[in-house]
A = this chain, B = another copy of it.
Amino acid sequence: MPRTTDLSPRQRETLEWVKNFIQEHGMPPTVREIGDAFGIKSSSVFDLLKALERKGYMRRGELGARSLIIENLSAPDESGCAEIPVVGRIPAGQPIEAIEHDCGTVAVSKDVLRGGDAFALKVEGNSMVEAGVLDGDYVIVRKQETADDGDIVVALIENEATLKRLYRESGGVRLEPANRNMAPIHVTSGEFKIQGKLVSVVRIMTTGGSVEKPLGGQ
How many of these chains are in the complex? 2
Closest B residue to A29 by beta carbon equals B63
Interchain CB contact under 8 A, A83 and B75 = no
Q: Is A206 an interface residue (CB 8 A)?
A: yes
Q: Is A8 an interface residue (CB 8 A)?
A: no
A contact residues, range: 35 or more
Closest B residue to A61 by beta carbon equals B25
Interchain CB contact under 8 A, B27 and A203 = no
Q: Is A58 an interface residue (CB 8 A)?
A: no
Q: Give chain B nearest CB distance to A66 CB in angstroms.
A: 6
Interchain CB contact under 8 A, A131 and B6 = no
Chain B residues with CB below 8 A from A199, complex form? 204-205
Interchain CB contact under 8 A, B210 and A151 = yes
With A65-B30, A75-B77, A109-B106 as contacts: A206 and B6 at CB distance below 8 Å? yes
Closest B residue to A75 by beta carbon equals B26
Q: Is A5 an interface residue (CB 8 A)?
A: yes
Q: Is A185 an interface residue (CB 8 A)?
A: no
Q: Is A174 an interface residue (CB 8 A)?
A: no
Interchain CB contact under 8 A, A3 and B208 = yes
- How far, in angstroms, from A131 to B205 measured CA to CA in the complex? 12
Chain B residues with CB below 8 A from A109, complex form? 83, 105-107, 204
- How far, in angstroms, from A90 to B5 measured CA to CA in the complex? 26
Closest B residue to A109 by beta carbon equals B107
Which among A83, A137, A178, A211 has the greatest number of chain B C-beta atoms within 10 A? A211
Interchain CB contact under 8 A, A6 and B107 = no
Q: Is A81 an interface residue (CB 8 A)?
A: yes
Interchain Cβ contacts under 8 Å between A and B, 15 examples: A5-B206, A5-B207, A25-B74, A26-B27, A26-B69, A30-B64, A65-B66, A75-B78, A80-B107, A112-B204, A114-B207, A132-B137, A150-B209, A200-B202, A200-B203
Given contacts A6-B207, A200-B205, 16 further A-B contacts (CB under 8 A): A22-B26, A23-B75, A26-B27, A26-B74, A26-B75, A27-B28, A55-B207, A75-B75, A81-B107, A107-B108, A114-B207, A131-B211, A132-B133, A132-B203, A132-B211, A201-B201
